[in-house]
């Protein structure tokens, strides 16, 4: 049995599950950490999460339905123990225990690899102020399924409700001096990413080939995401 803090494990899980956008993953454990490489259901996002959790032996575990595991973990207190087998993960606290059945590794989606890493020519700083503005703006225009990063004569900004026609829209300034060509990304995915990593400063990097790379790093968690841009009708 390995003793761990539930909050630490859920911190790892939330950083890849992203509010249900990622369900099936492979956990790779070692003596000092737990790692997963993952891809979203719609294939527009891939990423890697590494968390410092010690004491679990080297192995790989197929997690088919992450949302079910989260619900089961919710019944346990903060201090938990985990034991592993080839077929299941066993969790327990002082009063309750449960087994989570593992999936065959062959049914876990393969994470595509990039043929080459593109150059990222613009970097936007992510901090709690950025996260609060982003979340509040998205909440005010919840039907905006994408946001836009753009430059004008005044500066660089993020816009919700971007359109060539007259629409409700919200914009806020971003912390970068790099030139950015107008580009669009999923509001929902980025919101889930930055909320899952709130409390840690990060970066949002933009590539001219239509990719965003979002990175966070602290003493406990290391998160990296690659997100494909959204194509907007009329452009």
Q: What is the CATH number of the domain that holds 171?
A: 3.10.150.10
Same-domain check for residues 96 and 127: no
- Look at residue 114 in the predicted model and tell me its pLDDT: 85
The partner residues of 124 in beta bridges, in order of sequence, read 204
Examine the fold and report which residue of 107, 133, 155 is the final residue of a domain before the chain moves on.
107
pLDDT tens-digit profile of 131-166? 999 999 999 999 999 999 998 778 899 999 998 888
Overall average pLDDT of the 105-113 stretch: 94
Q: Per the domain annotation, does 117 fall within a domain?
A: no
Same-domain check for residues 95 and 13: yes
Nearest to 159 by CA among 126, 196, 187: 187
Q: Per the domain annotation, does 113 fall within a domain?
A: no
Domains: count for the chain: 2
| Residue 234 in this model has a pLDDT that exceeds 70 | no
CA distances from 1 to 91, 93, 99, 166 (A): 9, 11, 13, 60
Whole-number Å distance between alpha carbons of 126 and 201: 6
Complete edge-to-edge strand list for the sheet that includes strand 88-92: 2-5, 79-84, 88-92, 97-101
Cα torsion angle, 113, 116, 117, 122, sign: negative
Both tokens of residue 164? Answer: 């060539």
Which pTM does this prediction carry? 0.94
How many CA atoms within 13 Å lie on the side-chain side of 3? 3
79-93, 146-160, 189-203: least confident range: 146-160
Same-domain check for residues 211 and 139: yes
Q: Tally Cβ neighbours within 10 Å of residue 167.
A: 11
- Look at residue 153 in the predicted model and tell me its pLDDT: 75
- Look at residue 231 in the predicted model and tell me its pLDDT: 82
Structural domain span for residue 147: 122-228
Angle between helix axes 187-196 and 128-140 (nearest 10 degrees) is 140
- Look at residue 175 in the predicted model and tell me its pLDDT: 85
| Residue 233 in this model has a pLDDT that exceeds 70 | no
Q: Per the domain annotation, does 147 fall within a domain?
A: yes
Overall average pLDDT of the 221-226 stretch: 98
């Amino acid at each position: 049995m390995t003793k761990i803090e539930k909050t630490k494990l859920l911190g790892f899980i939330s950083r890849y599950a992203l509010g249900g956008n990622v369900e099936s993953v492979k956990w790779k454990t070692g003596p000092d950490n737990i790692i997963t490489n993952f891809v979203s259901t719609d294939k527009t996002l891939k990423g890697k999460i590494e968390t410092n959790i010690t004491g679990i032996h080297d192995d790989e575990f197929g997690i088919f339905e992450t949302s079910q595991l989260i619900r089961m973990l919710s019944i346990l207190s903060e201090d938990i123990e985990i034991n592993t087998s080839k077929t299941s993960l066993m969790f327990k606290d002082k009063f309750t225990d449960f087994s989570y059945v593992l999936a065959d590794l062959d049914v876990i989606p393969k994470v595509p690899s990039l043929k080459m890493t593109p150059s990222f020519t613009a970097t936007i700083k992510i901090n709690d102020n950025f996260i609060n503005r982003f979340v509040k703006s998205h909440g005010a225009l919840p039907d905006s399924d994408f946001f836009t990063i753009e430059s004008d004569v005044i500066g660089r900004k993020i816009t919700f409700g971007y359109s060539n026609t007259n629409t409700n829209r919200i914009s806020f300034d971003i912390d970068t001096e790099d030139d950015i060509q107008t580009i669009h990304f999923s509001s929902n995915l980025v919101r889930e990413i930055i909320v899952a990593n709130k409390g840690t400063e990060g970066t949002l990097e933009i590539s001219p080939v239509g990719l965003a790379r979002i990175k966070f790093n602290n003493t406990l968690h290391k998160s990296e995401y690659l997100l494909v841009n959204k194509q907007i009708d009329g452009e």
